[in-house]
């Protein structure tokens, strides 16, 4: 049953990631990987928020963590895409944009995680 729960969450997370990345690419362009950046930062935020709520604030069925964090957010966040896009930027000689992508994504993702935790603590 747990595999099915993770699979459902993963299916929905992957579709959400794909749709949001397409929309952001069309809206803001593709010279900088904004779609992946926004997805990874928002995913970090929601992982911080939900994990704190699920482990510190509320007694919830562990299957909610499997569905939302492991399944949905696990498929929604795009670390492997982030790595590929950064490697592609380096291959194309765009070292500065690649470095900005690494620094901004890691820093903003960590900050988003902590903001999610802070918001969860205040609930």
Q: Mean pLDDT across the stretch 87-97?
A: 96
H helices of 1-123, in order, are: 2-28, 34-52, 62-65, 74-76, 79-91, 95-122
What three-state secondary structure class fits 78? coil
Establish whether 36 is an annotated binding residue: no
Region 58-72 average pLDDT:
94
Calculate Rg over the CA atoms of the chain.
16
| pLDDT at position 84 | 87
74 is in an annotated binding site: yes
Indicate the pTM of the whole model.
0.85
């Amino acid at each position: 049953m747990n595999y099915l729960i993770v699979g459902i969450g993963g299916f929905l997370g992957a579709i959400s990631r794909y749709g949001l990345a397409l929309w952001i690419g069309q809206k803001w362009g593709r010279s900088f990987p904004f779609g992946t950046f926004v997805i990874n930062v928002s995913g970090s935020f929601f992982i911080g928020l939900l994990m704190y709520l699920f482990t510190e604030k509320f007694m919830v069925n562990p299957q909610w963590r499997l569905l939302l964090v492991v399944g949905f957010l696990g498929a929604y966040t795009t670390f492997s895409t982030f790595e590929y896009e950064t490697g592609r930027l380096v291959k194309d000689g765009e070292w500065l944009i690649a470095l900005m992508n690494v620094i901004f994504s890691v820093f903003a993702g960590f900050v988003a995680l902590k903001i999610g935790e802070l918001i969860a603590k205040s609930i």
